[in-house]
Amino acid sequence: MAVFTEVGFDAAASLADHLGIGPLTELKGIASGIENTNYFADTAKGRYVLTLFERLTAEQLPFYLHLMKHLAVKGIPVPEPQADASGEILHALCGKPASVVNRLVGGHQLAPDVIHCEQVGMMLARMHLAGGDYPRHQPNLRGLDWWTETVPVVLPHLTPEQAELISSELAFQQHLAGTPAYASLPRGPVHADLFRDNVMFDGHRLTGFFDFYFAGIDTFLFDIAVCLNDWCIDLDTGRMETERAAAFVAAYHRERELSGSERRLMPALLRAGALRFWISRLWDFHLPRDASMLKPHDPTHFERVLRQRIDDPWHPGLTT
């Protein structure tokens, strides 16, 4: 259950009043999620989500919250942080940094079809374009530097074959990061964790992207790769489902044309996307925080995905 910090009704109600969205009528803990404490909060003014940040600091949070605001103002369907009378969108509750955002309608599409993949691809491209003039800078905190420091920490928990794979893949990605082709990749604010459970659909209509708390400045191609590795694979085998993947990339490309380096480096970045989540899942699995009652995500899934991306590289077959 992802309520790490219990929030009393009165405390939430006074925050709602402070934001001018009160009075609070209902407050309900959200069971899913593994990073933050989340509550659905209904008020006389609308439906909101209250988040208490358990891992992120008040120094890191403005990047994410202002990015959501920036995107929302530009018409990208993302939760919009609610400001107080002085314009502040980062609040505090129960001694933790907190935010209140509007609640998206719809639900998760956990068995996506081509039409869903096209919509995510299209909206991802629009989001990348809309973030082009976002002025704040914060690197992807789950990027290469974090992989480099975390792999040695998880290594003792791996079999010799797994240790060999993770070490050689890390070396491959470290080498790639130093190449001119990699340096030429377009970059900007990326979501970096846009899995099926971080997108809302109402039927076939995409109603929002959320959970921006792994966002950062990185290559757009990394964001695309993270999506393809979740939206467009067979979850049992890790194999790329080429019809869905081609539809995703074509829809993206219609909104924001992929450069030559982006097309060429797609197979390498798909490997990077798999490595990133293999490492984070190993880290969560073997070094759990106090939320030990949570069921961590299965790390072997991304080991399988990584092996697939290496053994059977996927290239976007774009013709224009």
Ligand X SMILES: Nc1ncnc2c1ncn2[C@@H]1O[C@H](COP(=O)(O)OP(=O)(O)OP(=O)(O)O)[C@@H](O)[C@H]1O
Ligand Y SMILES: N[C@@H](CCO)C(=O)O
Residues that bind ligand Y in the complex, under the rule CB under 6 A:
193, 195, 277, 280-281, 297
The residues pairing with 96 across neighbouring beta strands, listed in sequence order, are 93
Half-sphere exposure of 167 (CA within 13 A, CB side): 11
How far is Cα of residue 49 from the mean position of the Cα atoms in its chain?
17
**Which residue from 145, 135, 248 is spatially nearest to 194, judged by alpha carbons?**
248
Interaction residues for ligand X, span 95-114 (CB under 6 A): 101, 103-104
Measured from each CB, the residue nearest to ligand X is 33
Q: How far apart are CA 181 and CA 159, in angstroms?
A: 33
Among 12, 19, 21, 35, binds ligand X (CB under 6 A): 35
Site membership for ligand X, residue 305 (CB under 6 A): no
Which tokens hold the place of 169? 């893949």
Site membership for ligand X, residue 30 (CB under 6 A): yes
Nearer to ligand X, 210 or 283 (CB): 210
Which tokens hold the place of 114? 């081509």
Helix/strand/coil percent split, the chain, to 5:
45, 15, 40
Picked from ligand Y, ligand X, none, the partner binding residue 277 (CB below 5 to 8 A depending on kind) is ligand Y
Shortest Cβ distance from residue 161 to ligand X (Å)?
29
Shortest Cβ distance from residue 9 to ligand X (Å)?
19
**For 152-191, where are the E strands, in sequence order?**
187-190
Part of the chain binding ligand X (CB under 6 A), chosen from 28-36, 80-88, 230-238, 245-253: 28-36
Q: How many other C-beta atoms lie within 10 A of the C-beta of residue 151?
A: 21
Nearer to ligand X, 211 or 262 (CB): 211
The residue ranges that bind ligand X (CB under 6 A) are 2, 30, 32-36, 38, 49, 79, 101, 103-104, 197, 210-211
